[in-house]
Structure formats: structure tokens, C-alpha cells
Structure 1
Amino acid sequence: MSYVNKIISINGTEKDFIKAFANELTLADSRITCETDIDAEFANEDSSHIITIIFDVSNCYKIKLIRAVAINRATSQYNIQTVINNVDKSSAGLLFLGATKFVTDIATRTFNFMLISNDNTVVMLFGDYNQSLPNVYKYNLMSYHEQDFNVIAYNLNSIASKSEFIRTDENHKGETYKITNRLLYSRDEDVEIIESKPLMQNNNAVYDMKNVYDCSNVTSGSILIIDSNKYFAVDSNTLIKT
């Protein structure tokens, strides 16, 4: 189980910065691996080459970090997108600085990310250099993993759990699900929990996620301590144990 809220801020070249970011993201959860030789990406002599860093998450989906312009041009941005079942999904621009820089310029570049995980769930938020997570961010992912059941949801500037969950298992690839909230009410300072969260298809509950809990109304993005256990509020009615 993990709760990581990181500001990756490096004074150096762009390669130094991207290597530091990749290192921190892969350290945050062992299910995340970097598939790209970052040194080779930055050594590419083709002036039109666009640097692309690819991360694999639990052999379920990939995250691409794509430089906004070719390697020979100055920029302040990378684009982040998810690849689900070999399909590139919508991307969001992540700003690492308020001014454009060339890859070899020495500057302080910054990205922010959060990763909250347990045995079955990985939640990630990514933000610009000047955004404060989890209040404001550019990209949100939530994935759920069991041996024969893997789904991923993503959203730009909003909460991933409110989007469709897309299944990535070979025999059910592309099936979609939505979560439902069974406790849409407040209990003052108390929080009521149901220790499962159903995934729905056509108004039918078809799967119960483990270590993802239904709850009465809470503040999205908050940390709660309930019976000495620590929870992160993925949204206003969904908790994951951390």
C-alpha cells in the first residue's frame, strides 16, 4: 500500500529532469516500469524526432509522456496520454516551466504527481509545475487489478472514477463499466462504509471491486482515518485503503 505526493523539481537539462521523473514514478509502485531507454531518446540525431517515454502499468495499460515539439525546438510542455488495448486515448498537456527551453538548457523544471495504491488499485494524478495536488491537476487515472479482471479509467482535469472503466483482459477486451454510489448522503462527521464497490453494466452490478469502498459523502481528494485505517477519497463516495 502506498501514498506518494511528489514534486519532481530538477535544475539541469531536460534529460536530467525526465530521468528523475521516470525514476520517482517507477519507485512509487513496483507495477509501473519504464520501457524506454531515456538516454537513447535524447541522443536521437533526427531533428524532427519527438521524445516519447513509455511506462507500462501491470501489463494492463501504458502511459505515454510525449514532448510537445521536436527535439530541436524549445518547449515548456510534455503531453501525457494513456494507451488502452493498443489505442492512444486523449492527451493532456503538462507544463514543466513557465517559459520554453531547449533540451540542453540548464533550468529548473518541475512536474507534480500523486500515486495512491493498494494490492488491487492504482490511482495517479499528474499536474503542472505550479499546480497543487490533489486540488488541481491535469490528468487522473484509476486502475483495478485482479488475476482475471483488469480495468482502467482516465479523465482530463477531472475525476477518473466518474468515467468509464475499460477492461483490458484478452477475452473481455474493451468491455466498459461504470461505478455506482449506494450511500449518497451525509452523516455529519461520521462516515459510513460498505467494503466493496460495484461495477455496473446496463444497470446491473456485475463485479465487486476489492479494497475499493463505497462511502457516505466525503470530500474528494481527502485523507480519512477510520478505525485506525487510512483511506484516500478517490471521489466524494469512493474510498481506497492506503
Structure 2
Amino acid sequence: MSYINKSVSINGTEKDFIKAFANELTSADNRITCETDIDAEFANEDSSHIITIIFDVSNCYKIKLIRAVAINRATYQYNIQTVVNNVDKSSASLYFLSTMKTVTDIATRTFNFMLISNDNAIAILFGGYNRTLPNTYDYNLISYHEQDFNIIACGTNTIASKSEFIRTDENHKGEIYKTTNRLLYSRDENVEIIESKPLVQNNIVVHDMKSVYDCSNVLAGNILIIDSNKYFAIDSNTLIKIKE
């Protein structure tokens, strides 16, 4: 499935909750894998240890969930961060409940995420217990994957798909691409794609992304049906085709 709007809510310990969340995220797309032995991470007896759960996405970038405080202290949040070309990018807080709880307390903790993907693109919105996606969220990212061309954009207060994309493949690692060349469309009775234009370019190269379309003034968060295909509006200008 390439369109998932999931609320992960578990009554148990913090380890139970994080394991459940990791399982749901990795199950949502097989390009996402968990690098961390979660049982071992929570078994660390160093009182100053900060629990960190690392996910790899298509061998192109990583997502970190970092506990807000050391393991022996009470907390109600994790920080989420993207690591691009071994550089930590902006981070945001994900709150899993409204009151402080220690790691071993039995409580209901909740994270939310939305994932929209196809063969070439992955977009994820992350939200804490009090978020209703896609209307409100705490962290978002979008990445594009093609042979020898991989780019990623992420953001907290910014919409990732309107931000700078960073290239992660070995040949051109670190190159910056920007969104450009708005796609025209007809807004009559049905939305109709008129022409697919490149979504990203840098100073030298224009790249035509497959199954991602740059539009003008669509309603973010909606699913559009165009020629029997489903598209999700990541933002007010960008559609990503939902893989059937």
C-alpha cells in the first residue's frame, strides 16, 4: 500500500510503544528499515544514555528518533531528525502524551504518521499524539529515488516539497536542487494534467521526476483522481502519484 495514514497508539512501556511504531513505519514501505536493536537500546544501563532509534531510507538518508532526556528520567517526547550525507538536519519534537512518564511506566502513548509513495518517491508527515494529519503535523519530508539520482528535502516549519532538495547519490552528493517550472493544469469540472514539467533543477541540470508533478494552486492534503489515477497533494503546488 502506498497511502497510509496511521495512528500508532499502544498501552504499555515506552519500549513497547517505540517497537510498535518502528514496526508500523518499516511495514509501510520496504525501503525503510530499522538499523537499531531496540531491545538492546532500551537495555543500556548507562544512566546518561540517550535512546536513539535510527531508520535507513533506501540507503539514501536516515531518520533518527532521539529521546528527549536520558533513560532514567521522565519525558513525554522524542526529537525527530533527518540525517543527509552524514549531516544532521533540522529537528522537531514529537510528543507521545501530555504528562511526564518514565520509560517503564505503563501508559498509552501515540505517534501519527502519513506515508505516500510510489516507485520513485516517498513523502512522510510525522505528528505527535495531538496532531490530525495532514492538517497539522510536526515534521515532514519528501525524497525522490531513481538510478544514480536521489534527493531529499525535509522541514519543520517549512513544507519540505517547497524547500531545497539535497542530492545523496555518490556521484553528485550534496548538490542543491530547487523546485521550479510550475505545471499547468485545467481546473474545470475535473482536474486535468496538461503537461508534465521538471520539478527540480540546479544551476546546471534540470531533472524530470517521474510520478511527481509540480502544479499551481491545488488544495494540500487532498486526493485527486486524474484519468483514473490517484494523486495526493503534498502541498498547494505538488502532486505525488499514489501507486495502486
Q: TM-score range by the shorter chain?
A: over 0.9
Amino acid in the other structure paired with 1:240: I
1:164 aligned to 2:145?
no
**How many angstroms apart in 1 are the aligned matches of 2:155 and 2:198?**
19
Specify the alignment match of 2:51 in structure 1: 51
Amino acid in the other structure paired with 2:87: V
Q: Deviations over 1:41-100 (max 9, x none)?
A: 000000000000000000000000000000000000000000000011111000000001
Instruction: Please report how far the alpha carbon of residue 189 of structure 1 lies from its aligned counterpart in structure 2 after TM superposition.
Output: 4.4
Identity of aligned residues (%): 80
Amino acid in the other structure paired with 1:64: K
Instruction: Please report how far the alpha carbon of residue 235 of structure 1 lies from its aligned counterpart in structure 2 after TM superposition.
Output: 1.5
Instruction: Please report how far the alpha carbon of residue 196 of structure 1 lies from its aligned counterpart in structure 2 after TM superposition.
Output: 4.5
Specify the alignment match of 2:38 in structure 1: 38
Q: SS in structure 1 opposite 2:153?
A: strand
**How many angstroms apart in 2 are the aligned matches of 1:117 and 1:196?**
20
Superposed, which structure 2 residues align to 1:7-156 within 5 Å?
7-156=7-156
Q: SS in structure 2 opposite 1:103?
A: coil
Amino acid in the other structure paired with 2:83: V
> How many positions carry a matched residue from both structures?
241
Instruction: Please report how far the alpha carbon of residue 152 of structure 1 lies from its aligned counterpart in structure 2 after TM superposition.
Output: 0.2
Specify the alignment match of 1:198 in structure 2: 199
Instruction: Please report how far the alpha carbon of residue 188 of structure 1 lies from its aligned counterpart in structure 2 after TM superposition.
Output: 4.8
Q: SS in structure 1 opposite 2:130?
A: coil
Q: Deviations over 1:194-239 (max 9, x none)?
A: 334331224x661110111133421011111112111100111211
**How many angstroms apart in 2 are the aligned matches of 1:135 and 1:184?**
25
**How many angstroms apart in 1 are the aligned matches of 2:234 and 2:198?**
12
**How many angstroms apart in 2 are the aligned matches of 1:26 and 1:172?**
28
- Comparing 1-10 with 50-59, which one deviates more in the overlay? 1-10
Query: Structure 1: where are the runs of 5+ without partners?
Result: none
Considering only aligned residues, what root-mean-square deviation do their CA atoms show, in Å? 1.5
Query: Structure 2: where are the runs of 5+ without partners?
Result: none
Instruction: Please report how far the alpha carbon of residue 183 of structure 1 lies from its aligned counterpart in structure 2 after TM superposition.
Output: 4.0
- Comparing 229-238 with 41-50, which one deviates more in the overlay? 229-238
**How many angstroms apart in 1 are the aligned matches of 2:95 and 2:202?**
37
Amino acid in the other structure paired with 2:47: S
- Comparing 69-78 with 184-193, which one deviates more in the overlay? 184-193
**How many angstroms apart in 2 are the aligned matches of 1:116 and 1:185?**
22
Query: What TM-score results when the alignment is normalised by the length of structure 1?
Result: 0.95
Change (3 A) 1:74 1:182: same
**How many angstroms apart in 1 are the aligned matches of 2:125 and 2:87?**
21
Q: Deviations over 1:125-158 (max 9, x none)?
A: 0001010000000100000001100000001033
Instruction: Please report how far the alpha carbon of residue 190 of structure 1 lies from its aligned counterpart in structure 2 after TM superposition.
Output: 3.5
Q: Deviations over 1:156-215 (max 9, x none)?
A: 03311111000011121100001114247872544242334331224x661110111133
Amino acid in the other structure paired with 1:112: N
Query: What TM-score results when the alignment is normalised by the length of structure 2?
Result: 0.94
**How many angstroms apart in 2 are the aligned matches of 1:160 and 1:52?**
23
Q: Is 1:125–1:141's contact at 8 Å kept on the other side of the alignment?
A: yes
**How many angstroms apart in 1 are the aligned matches of 2:240 and 2:166?**
19
